[in-house]
Structure 1
């Protein structure tokens, strides 16, 4: 069912500002692919070009080998949530989806089906202007699902959702990918991408930083460390630093060790007669890797207060 998204040397300039700069990557079906980058990195511009809402300065953005505009009845081909607030507030959710269904050759029953799927069945007859942000997000997701498309794009889909809603969206993305659909999710929530995505596309200042699996990205983005607990912190620190490791104290009296694997730390402790209460290898979190690899691409940074 799924189709490939292909971004090839994509460039977009607004006057003297380059929003997207020679960007190339591929998003494949059957996977949840997270689209990450600091504010101003070019994520939304890339998605808008992909949907034919913005013309590129150069390069191409295609779905299944063709620009979005060349596919008739677009909602059957690509479903998207870009701005949950972009709905006429005077319409009911049912009327909004029914109108989209008619113009895309979709059976009207789908409006009620997707409203039930996203948890808005009881609010289907209410005007959207009275919806909360979380309800608008659910309506935006319902809109994306309306045509049962093989490709789905979501820009910050978790905004305004409560914890139950976040869990529901996480399960929804997994199910859609398992059905063979192509699921492309732009988000600034690193923890959610760590729990949801299979692959990542990371950009900064409009350029590609990484396109790989979540585990591979986290592993190369920051040094691995080992958490150690011992009643003889001074003795162990001396033994480890003599071997070239970096040792620093962390919370609850533990030590964080980098530069040596856990097995070697255990050997040195045994040789020196140092008892160990904990020896836990720790991989970098996605957020740590993201912060390290995008540090040079952050457009706006807060200054520390004196």
Structure 2
């Protein structure tokens, strides 16, 4: 099945304004401000313990902020009636009662939000669980529970969707499926916020990134702009004379790092210029390989020093 465009005239924007959450002397989220807009997948990234889950729980009204605000369509989530029609969320794949069947779990949610019974079968089909609809959730694998949580998020056909580490437990086929689903939902004009601590999960899906560390904002920009943070040219060089070559390159303005043995990593200089200088000084080269930093490297460099412990058991 395919979902139609989200209905209604709401702007579907998530707004976080100076959001702060403290647990005693520990600050889990620190004056965080950002906006999540419709029509694109927004990746919510940060190391484990950065405050992503705490922030998402405050957006959904599950945790009360110490200060600041989080709104959806201009008002707190708690003020939206029949919440699943407005916002769908997957925060914890273990939320379903293990003694209930998948269909019974979804029907309880549908009934409580005034949704028709047919939606249960529709979303089970969408996530590939129609064949196990009557099985008890307690017998599900982690990947199956993740799919059930996604089905619950889709149940009300909402214009706003939040997913916290949704690929946990999914096999490679499941990861490809969920990436495609995120893109389809965004193309329909929905607001899609997906948290992860892995840049690799976002580079083929997200169009915009919000990156945090220790509860503070590090980046709020397009995927392309964020990738440029790690795009500094680097050249890997192997030579039998690493000390001599390093000295020559440094004199010409390059930054040189010795990576052990006969390997140098050079930044601030093109591979062509490295080759020219080596040739002029008759320094033999075994290897001369230019490369550009990956998105994963951009993420690691941007969040270096921002990894922290998990607060209250959450990230």
Shift in alpha-carbon separation, 1:30–1:281, aligned structure 2, 3 A? farther
TM-score (norm 2): 0.84
Query: How much has 1:258 moved relative to structure 2?
Result: 0.7
Matches of 2:207 and 2:190, distance apart in 1: 13
Q: Which of 140, 164, 168 is residue 155 of structure 1 equivalent to?
A: 164
- Determine the structure 2 residue equivalent to 1:139: 148
Partner SS for 1:297: coil
- Determine the structure 2 residue equivalent to 1:256: 265
Contact 2:58 2:70 in 1 (8 A): yes
Q: Which of 277, 286, 292 is residue 301 of structure 2 equivalent to?
A: 292
- Determine the structure 2 residue equivalent to 1:29: 38
- Determine the structure 2 residue equivalent to 1:105: 114
Structure 2, unaligned runs of 5 or more: 1-5, 311-315
Q: How many residues align structurally?
A: 301
Shift in alpha-carbon separation, 1:232–1:175, aligned structure 2, 3 A? farther
Matches of 1:118 and 1:156, distance apart in 2: 16
Matches of 1:38 and 1:127, distance apart in 2: 34
Shift in alpha-carbon separation, 1:279–1:71, aligned structure 2, 3 A? farther
Tell me if 1:183 matches 2:227.
Answer: no
Matches of 1:192 and 1:290, distance apart in 2: 12
Shift in alpha-carbon separation, 1:206–1:248, aligned structure 2, 3 A? closer
Contact 1:32 1:183 in 2 (8 A): yes
Contact 1:222 1:288 in 2 (8 A): no
Shift in alpha-carbon separation, 1:213–1:263, aligned structure 2, 3 A? farther
Matches of 1:264 and 1:172, distance apart in 2: 45
Contact 1:219 1:283 in 2 (8 A): no
Cα displacement string for residues 162-199 of structure 1 (whole angstroms, at most 9, x for unaligned residues): 11111111111111111111111111222112222221
Contact 1:10 1:22 in 2 (8 A): yes
Moved more, 214-223 or 150-159: 214-223
- Determine the structure 1 residue equivalent to 2:177: 168
Contact 1:30 1:178 in 2 (8 A): yes
Tell me if 1:44 matches 2:59.
Answer: no
- Determine the structure 2 residue equivalent to 1:86: 95
Alignment RMSD (CA, Å): 2.8
Contact 1:110 1:146 in 2 (8 A): yes
Contact 1:226 1:262 in 2 (8 A): yes
Matches of 1:99 and 1:251, distance apart in 2: 61
Tell me if 1:203 matches 2:212.
Answer: yes
Matches of 1:18 and 1:211, distance apart in 2: 21
Contact 2:230 2:294 in 1 (8 A): no
Query: How much has 1:300 moved relative to structure 2?
Result: 4.5
Matches of 2:93 and 2:230, distance apart in 1: 33
Matches of 1:256 and 1:216, distance apart in 2: 24
Partner SS for 1:195: coil
Matches of 2:99 and 2:201, distance apart in 1: 33
Cα displacement string for residues 229-272 of structure 1 (whole angstroms, at most 9, x for unaligned residues): 78998886665343122345779987532111356446656877
Matches of 1:142 and 1:252, distance apart in 2: 53
Matches of 1:43 and 1:64, distance apart in 2: 20
Larger helix proportion of the pair: 1
- Determine the structure 1 residue equivalent to 2:125: 116
Structure 1, unaligned runs of 5 or more: 302-306
TM-score (norm 1): 0.87
